[in-house]
Amino acid sequence: MSQTQASNKVALYTLMFTMFVTMSGIGLIIPVMPRYLETFGVAGQVLGLLIATFAFSQFIFSPIAGNLSDRYGRKNLILCGLVVYGLAQVAFGLATSIPLLFLSRFFGGLGSAFIVPPVMAFVADITTYEERGKGMGMIGAAMSFGFMIGPGIGGFLSKVSLHFPFYMAGVFALIAVILSFFILPSIKPTVKVDKKNENLVKQMARSIHMPYFVMLVIMLIFSFGIANFQVTLSLFVTQKFDYTPEDIAIILTVGGAVGVVVQMFVIEPLFKRFGEMKIILINLIIAAIAMITMLFASGFAVILLVATIFSTATTLIRPAVNTLISKLAGNEQGFAAGLNNAYMSLGNMIGPALAGTLFDINRTIPYFVGTGVLLGCFLLAFIWTTTKAPHLLKAEAK
């Protein structure tokens, strides 16, 4: 192994740690938030709006971060993003009013937006064409592991205090800053800035004419639907069963762990045997059943099982949609991937805000609405496939 290869390998591990810190920091607030927001005298609506604020900030700044990293280098953007992200986490723990909570989450989303796209681009810079898939896979695994373990970290750190998880998220972001500063090489980006680059509004307007437009709509509706479950789950079990942050952390961590295993070992064989569209249709039904079942579940073991089934179903749906969009995109892979992320972000913004508001009216409403949305998504996917693209119901030839 040459010195350059060894340096790039260490850089890749550093990028993995950076993504782990970022994603775990996003997830750790989930089990803590119900009781943390109680100290401010607020509940579901504010939680949903806080999550939507983070997603909105990501939605706005991610394209900007990608362009800036092309011009000024990945490392500089990553360092800036980690500093902003870490300070925002600490500020959230120190906040003494609702406006400060929203301000810190907005800057947290900004910091995250300045981390994720440059990290992805950095992987492309330090890997060969043949190694690109492996490098992206390692970053994806770090992200999934961060999402999985984040709620667990938050739940158990909350034993010290409700503020402590946010302070530790800031500390780990600082550690990532130090490691990135000394380890990541300062290299010129290999990706050129597209002079014909369209803004997001023009891209989404053009998406209507794309052959995969319905799949984009499915991603939007699907993301909106699952937000009803994900955002309100911690509030629901806290109010109905008086679960602690540690209890919620276990539920989320187990579901996430099963999802990671499915991503690593199960998805590819299922796609080859049944095809992506069948996986989407079947798991939309499973997710809808799991969501409505949560209203009637009682006992920790049953709730853990239902939440894990829901998590597994959604883990299978998202990559299936991504794969189909890629297959239908032809030569416009980058354009399609950008649109896919934009539609998903819209669902992630609108879903949490509505779910929190509905939860404050009645804690059962988000689950009925979410179930209806997922079933509607199933009908849209089924009708479009059977009338416009029946070939998608067939698995690839072995």
Taking the CB of residue 301, how many other CB atoms lie within 10 A of it? 9
Residue 224 pLDDT: 82
197, pLDDT greater than 60: no
Residue 175 pLDDT: 95
Q: 176 near 55, Cβ under 8 Å?
A: no
Poorest-confidence range of 83-87, 90-94, 229-233?
229-233
Mean pLDDT across 196-222: 78
CATH topology agreement for domains 1-185 and 197-398: yes
Poorest-confidence range of 39-48, 93-102, 283-292?
39-48
pTM exceeds 0.75 for this model: no
Residue 83 pLDDT: 97
User: Which residue carries 């953007």 as its tokens?
Assistant: 77
Pairwise pLDDT comparison (192 vs 360), residue with the higher score: 360
Poorest-confidence range of 69-83, 143-157, 235-249, 298-312?
143-157
Residue 202 pLDDT: 72
Cα dist. 179→13, 183, 199, 215 in Å?
A: 10, 6, 34, 40
**327-357 residue pLDDT tens:** 777 655 546 655 776 787 788 778 877 888 8
The fold of 1-185 is Growth Hormone; Chain: A; (1.20.1250)
- Residue 304 burial by Cβ neighbours in a 10 Å radius (0-12, 13-18, 19+): middle
Amino acid at 178: I
Poorest-confidence range of 138-152, 156-170, 323-337?
323-337
pLDDT over 90, % of the chain: 31
Q: Tell me the residue length of the chain.
A: 398
Confidence tier at 190 by pLDDT (50, 70, 90): very low
Q: What are phi and psi of 41, to 5 degrees?
A: 75, 25
Residue 260 pLDDT: 73
**87-133 residue pLDDT tens:** 999 999 999 999 999 999 999 999 988 888 788 778 777 877 556 55
Please, how many CA atoms are within 13 Å of residue 60, restricted to the half-sphere of its CB?
13
80, pLDDT greater than 90: yes
Pairwise pLDDT comparison (287 vs 29), residue with the higher score: 287
Task: Report the alpha-carbon distance of residue 86 to residue 173 in Å, rounded.
Answer: 5
Task: Report the alpha-carbon distance of residue 261 to residue 286 in Å, rounded.
Answer: 18
57, pLDDT greater than 90: no
Residue 131 pLDDT: 67
Average pLDDT, the chain: 82
Task: Report the alpha-carbon distance of residue 276 to residue 269 in Å, rounded.
Answer: 11
Q: 218 near 320, Cβ under 8 Å?
A: no
397, pLDDT greater than 50: no
> In this structure, what token pair is assigned to residue 203?
């891209």
Mean pLDDT across 18-26: 87
For the domain with range 197-398, which CATH number is right: 3.40.50.300, 1.10.620.20, 1.10.3720.10, 1.20.1250.20?
1.20.1250.20
**Any idea where the domains of the chain sit in the sequence?**
1-185, 197-398
Q: Which of 70-79, 185-194, 299-308 has the highest mean pLDDT?
A: 299-308
181, pLDDT greater than 50: yes
Confidence tier at 305 by pLDDT (50, 70, 90): very high
C-alpha angle 212-275-309 in degrees, rounded to nearest 5 = 100
Task: Report the alpha-carbon distance of residue 145 to residue 281 in Å, rounded.
Answer: 26
pLDDT over 70, % of the chain: 86
> In this structure, what token pair is assigned to residue 254?
């187990």
Residue 380 pLDDT: 92
